[in-house]
Amino acid sequence: LKRITTHILQEMKNKGEKIAMLTAYDYSMAKVVDEGGVDVILVGDSASMVMAGHETTLPITLDQMIYHASSVIRGTKRALVVVDLPFGSYQGNSKEALSSAIRVMKESGAHAVKLEGGAEVAESIERIVAAGIPVMGHLGLTPQSIYKFGTYTVRAKEEAEADKLKSDILRIQEAGCFSVVLEKIPAKLAQEVTASLIIPTIGIGAGQHCDGQVLVVNDMIGLTKGFTPRFLRQYLEMYDQINGAVQSYIKDVKSGSFPNEKEQY
């Protein structure tokens, strides 16, 4: 089984073949997602919310991201594994960004890192790429800046912010990003920048014209019950299924029907 590379993703864009990406944070989920055939697995800092229960992505640490990433790596054979650099691990300066990226690569065995931002992180991208580490960008709604934005609403609806995004995306492509996530921006803007870029765009709430799509796996399988933004397509109702299974188990234990004669030694 051949491992997906950044070069294969570029060939996919060139051929018009869509890129499918999902998050994973642990060994078991990574294994089922990888064997399902996804092209890219993102160890997202969304782990801060869906794994650790924090309100935002800000609290998760580099050590915690490395723990999630090393678990995911052990569960994958085919997908390219990209790991988010968490808040506070790269914004200081480009040397700090490089040392964080090196720690992720060495300690987890991941294949690439992702970081949020445009021109302000271009120097960091250049330095990390120069060290031989592939970098994925992330523009539009960037959750590590949530307290600056104030809300999780659609970004770049106004011309000034759209123009800023267009110049940022060219800057990070020039800095050496192999791909970029576009989160929650108008479909028309995503279409325009996707056509203007050499590298593939991966959308989440960015419409049908991106070169690929990503979803948080817990959202996609319906585990994060009650989270139903317009961009989310839910493929399972895992919360309800697990909840039902738990109730059946409790009933069986309480009634004495589990374990039965065949389920004992």
Is position 84 an interface residue for Na ion (rule: CB under 5 A)?
yes
Is position 86 an interface residue for ligand KIV (rule: CB under 6 A)?
no
Is position 39 an interface residue for ligand KIV (rule: CB under 6 A)?
no
The window from 3-11, 43-51, 165-173, 206-214 that contacts Na ion (CB under 5 A) reads 43-51
Which positions from 146 through 185 interact with ligand KIV, judged by CB under 6 A?
181, 183
Is position 45 an interface residue for Na ion (rule: CB under 5 A)?
yes
Residue in 11, 126, 183, 261 annotated catalytic = 183
Q: How far is CA 222 from CA 33, 159, 234, in A?
A: 15, 35, 6
Q: Which does 181 bind (CB under 5 to 8 A by kind): ligand KIV, Na ion, none?
A: ligand KIV
The least distance separating Na ion from the CB of residue 169, rounded to whole angstroms, comes to: 17
In the block, residue with structure tokens 């325009």:
192
**Region class of 156: left (phi > 0), else alpha (psi between -120 and 50), else beta:** left
For ligand KIV, the closer of residues 149 and 249 by Cβ is: 149
**d(Cα 13, Cα 23) in Å, to the nearest integer?**
20
**d(Cα 20, Cα 17) in Å, to the nearest integer?**
10
Would you state the structure tokens that stand for residue 216, as one six-digit string? Answer: 């948080």
Residues recognised as catalytic = 183
Binding site for Na ion (CB under 5 A): 44-45, 84
